[in-house]
A and B are shown apart, each in its own frame.
Chain A
Amino acid sequence: MVSVCFYFQVHQPYRVKKYTIFDIGNNSNYFYDDGDNKRNNEKILRKVSNKCYLPANAVLLELLNKYPEFKISFSFSGVFLEQLEEFAPDVLDSFKKLVDTGQVEILAETYYHSLAFLYSKGEFREQVKLHENLIKRLFGLTPKVFRNTELIYSNEVAREVEAMGYKGILSEGSDNILGWRSPNFLYRPISTKKIKVLTKNYRLSDDLAFRFSEKSWKEWPLTAPKYVEWVNAINGNGNVLNLFMDYETFGEHQWEETGIFEFMRHLPGEILKHPDNNFKTPSEVIDSYNVMGDFDVPHLMSWADVERDLSAWLGNEIQHSAINKVYFLGHRVLKTKDEELIHKWRKLQTSDHFYYMCTKWFADGDVHKYFNPYESPYDAFISFMNVLQDLELRLEKYEMMNPDEKCNLSSSNFNNIYKFNSLLNNKSEGMINGNN
């Protein structure tokens, strides 16, 4: 029996506008760039909706109606849903229609698609809670399975998530994580009691997400029957096929002209031709199958790049200094109890901001360049740091008006930053491999 488990990540950040020294102290609009550029969030959302969300939702709705056995799952970041409410309610409705079929599961994550787990457990829990509330409000569902930003995972993440009451968690399933073991089974994160981990089958996932339109790939062009042959081959050596990918694969990363929508239209029918195949959501997978063994990931991993590490977000000094500054301000921001300010500060935690500052392949003009709304990682850093300067000015203003409230840093629950940094500094590469 092979249960095909689809999980689509849907996320759009609030990109920081080009924010200069002239704006500091004069302008607290950090996110609304109305220019004709790649930082105009509303325009981007519209563009991606037309290329991906709307046509992909139409295909999925058609499939969910046609095949009652077809199941999928989504993880929506809170900042994405918030932008849909703000800029594109029609798109939000089309997602609701999918959920209304009852064949869709929604996963839990941090509202702000943040790296909060690495810096403050308290902030992490708070953001997961905010996300849960939003999902309940918009879709009437309560998530039971958790996925962390960019599938960032370690034993510690699994323990924390179990303590928060989730029955499952998603992880990357690449060779450097699983070794000789197969991603097509469930595992038990080490030193947890009940929670089960689903691991991404990166080969079959990436065949769609990355290789589908690659003409130099020996399997090009990929057809649904050919793909399903590979799926069927799992029968006898696995319970589940975890196909995890960005939803933007459909129409945005793989353009419509590549035939990705047609492929998807035929895929469920082809999969269901084999009597031993079915579809399950992550919760159903967890309820249906037992674990095959322990899953031990002492170091932080993610689903990004070949390295599967955190270097795309935290690989250089500008990224570290920017994110440290964000969390360094945390206690003072929360002290203000100013909801608007806190919300802005949290939007600055979205991992994408740090991704845009990645210089790993900058000189080679790699994938990061395509997704970078700034002309260079350095420009991304400058706008971001200027914004933090303004935020700090606002905090100073607040603290001057409320002198009693001035916080005592030593009691801050953001001390984690220092612990985390000292851990990083011990590593020669500056990577995050700390075993804590």
Chain B
Amino acid sequence: MFGWEFPPFHTGGLGTACEGLTKCLSKNGVELIFVLPKKLDLNVDFLKVVYADDNIPIKKQYYFNSIIQGYTTHKSYENKYELEKEKDLIYASNLNEEVERYGLVAKRIAEEETFDIIHAHDWLTFKAGMMAKRVSGKKLVVHVHATEFDRCGGQGCNQHVYDIEKKGMQEADQIIAISDYTKKQIVKHYGISPKKVIVIHNGTQFEEFILNEVSNLKKSKKIVLSLGRITLQKGIDYLISAARIVLKYDRNVIFVIAGNGDMYEEIVRKVSDMGIADNFIFTGWVKDKNEIKKMYSMADLFIMPSVSEPFGLVPLEAQMCGTPSLISKQSGVAEIFSNCLKADFWDVNDMADKIVAVLKYNELHKTLNENGKEEVKKLTWDKPAVRCMDLYKKMMEEVN
């Protein structure tokens, strides 16, 4: 299995998903060799092998020395490279070459190891997956957590990334999409036959969090929270339009926007232009997990207004902390999570109607919360892992 981030070294949903999936696969007896790019100590080898222990449920883990991280873009890679190049010259000077380098590493590992199936997560690993397939002749499944169309929010896709994605999908024997939403993207934008794409929704690990302290803010105000990158993809500008309407009906609401991103300044400016800055708090990135849980708990409503969201784990996390959600219908999680409110991201009136309702009608908040919690408890990784294993089995049978 090829990944590009894994807890505790991860920044986003992909790492969390890889952990959940691999844990459950291992529990069910699948032996995994996991390959991961990771910036290693210079004194250590180019490749480092870690064997399973209590923390890592994976039989064998390869770390290959790289500065690729979760959600690396061409620009962020180059910035990082600038910082690192003085010290060491093993990294490629741009992301494309580094992805190629990952492929060469994969080739080397594939020649040495024995395995039945190759499983590659998202485009950064597709070259590695294809290379491993070529040297081993084993079947390849590519797992699509997001496409370039999600990442760029519909504007200015990177052709190179798109090409790798498409090639990976074409060369793969099977494709796993994490939602129907993603499957549609794959079929529509990459010209892949829908028959080749199987949808396996992500699961989650339920960890209830109950906050006992009540902050001063919470005592006097209603809190609506959003958390994530402040980018076009995440739809925060629609949220502020909805907020303006909400505030006409209820001045007593505070919108907390946690996160950062390339639209941060634009959003802050818009909020102040609309004259509603007093009702907004921008926290920037909150890194501490406990702090994030506290924020979820403090909120009366969590909002995920994404324009495009292949899955979207955050509303499930908010729900574990006792906060119901209003989520965009244009998200993968909307396909499997029922006990929440849903709106089209562009329908700011509908969004405002639902925000006002959940803040006004206590029973609505309570019923959503109780039913939502019960539902999220059931959304474990067990079923997705079994479906993934069934897919492996089917692919192996086809070989024989």
Contact = CB atoms under 8 A, between A and B. Distances in A.
A318 B353 CA distance: 17
Interface in B317-350: 338-339, 341-342, 349-350
Contact of B361 (A320, A379, A381): A381
A305 interface: no
B323 to A, nearest CB: 15
A359 B367 contact: yes
A362 interface: yes
A20 interface: yes
Contacts of A317: 363, 366-367
Given A318-B363, A321-B361, A382 B354 contact: yes
A362 B350 CA distance: 21
Nearest to B368: A378
Interface residues of A, number: 19
Most buried by A among B350, B363, B368: B363
Contacts of A379: 341
Interface string A369-411: 0000001101101100110000000000000000000000000
Nearest to A362: B338
Contacts, number: 56
B14 to A, nearest CB: 26
A385 B364 CA distance: 10
B246 to A, nearest CB: 9
Given A21-B249, A22-B349, A386 B357 contact: yes
Given A363-B339, A382-B354, A318 B364 contact: yes
A376 B338 contact: yes
- A interface: dominant SS: helix
B100 interface: no
Interface string A306-327: 0000000000111011000000
Given A21-B357, A382-B353, A320 B368 contact: no
A386 B338 CA distance: 22
Most buried by B among A20, A21, A381: A21
Contacts of B249: 21
B357 A385 contact: yes
Interface residues of B, number: 21
B253 to A, nearest CB: 13
B78 interface: no
Given A21-B249, A359-B371, A378 B353 contact: no
B98 interface: no
A362 B352 CA distance: 24
B173 interface: no
A21 B342 contact: no
A382 B324 CA distance: 15
Given A317-B366, A382-B364, A21 B353 contact: yes
B375 interface: yes
Nearest to B246: A21
A359 B353 contact: no
B356 interface: yes
Nearest to B366: A317
A386 B349 CA distance: 14
Interface in B364-400: 364, 366-368, 371, 375, 378
Interface of A: 20-22, 316-318, 320-321, 359, 362-363, 375-376, 378-379, 381-382, 385-386
15 contacts: A20-B349, A21-B352, A316-B367, A318-B361, A318-B364, A359-B339, A362-B339, A363-B375, A363-B378, A378-B339, A381-B361, A382-B353, A382-B361, A382-B364, A385-B361
Given A376-B342, A386-B357, 10 more contacts: A21-B249, A21-B352, A21-B356, A21-B357, A316-B367, A318-B367, A378-B339, A378-B368, A385-B361, A385-B364
